Amino acid sequence: MSRPTPLLLSLALAAVVIPAAAIRSQAGQAPSSPAHSGHTAAAPASSSTQRLPLGVQGASVIAVPPGATETSAGMTLRNPGKTPVVLTAARSSAAGHVMLMTTRRDAQGRVGMSGVKSLTVPAGGQLVLKPGGDHLMLMDLKRPLRLGERVPLVLVARDGRTLSVSATVRLP
């Protein structure tokens, strides 16, 4: 008997390595399959934009009299991650557009709101959005908002990730 030539030896190794790699890749995919099995219909829609990993509490929109064209919205956003989340836009089907705003006191002591390009939820921290502080402003309201109804909001981060929030209309 002759010893295996290098070529035969490498073929033999390849035959062993390839099935092992195939088994590893199957094992790697296995954990994600059960998680998706219950959400087959939702998966294609959510794959286009990544969801922002923020916790949301107390999302609300301030009720305004009929005929009012704008109102403010607030909530507490918690960021459990290690990188800040920079919000650069928001939108709502109930408003023509939504502004990111901050409240500042000027040199004369007058308090006023102004639009800002971004609002940041710090890493491992929170951003409180509320009237009189940083907040969202629903502009050009498309319809009267009923007390207690839920208004859909979408927060958009600089990197394109989004978060859908349902805010309850409440008294000031």
CA–CA dist 22, 26 (Å, integer): 6
Alpha carbon distance 150, 40 (integer Å): 27
Stretch that binds Cu ion, among 12-20, 61-69, 112-120, 145-153 (CB under 5 A): 112-120
Q: Rule CB under 5 A: is residue 113 a binding residue for Cu ion?
A: yes
Quick one: 77 or 138, whose CB is closer to Cu ion?
A: 138
CB 129, min distance to Cu ion, A:
10
Question: Residue 65: CB partners within 8 Å, gap ≥ 6?
Answer: none
Which region, judged by CB under 5 A, interacts with Cu ion, from 34-42, 73-81, 82-90, 101-109? 101-109
| Residue 73 contacts Cu ion per CB under 5 A | no
Helix (H, G, I), strand (E, B) or coil at 23: helix
Any contact of residue 141 with Cu ion (CB under 5 A)? no
Among 75, 87, 101, 155, contact with Cu ion (rule: CB under 5 A): 101
Closest separation between CB of residue 72 and Cu ion, Å? 5
CB contact burial 94-118 (16+ within 10 A = b; e otherwise): bbeebbbbeeeeeeeeeeebeeeee
Does 75 participate in binding Cu ion (rule CB under 5 A)? no
Is 98 a binding residue for Cu ion by CB under 5 A? The answer is: no
Q: Is residue 127 a contact point for Cu ion (CB under 5 A)?
A: no
How far is CA 27 from each of CA 32, 36, 39, rounded to the nearest angstrom? Answer: 10, 16, 21
SS3 state of residue 46: helix
Residues that bind Cu ion (CB under 5 A): 101, 113, 137
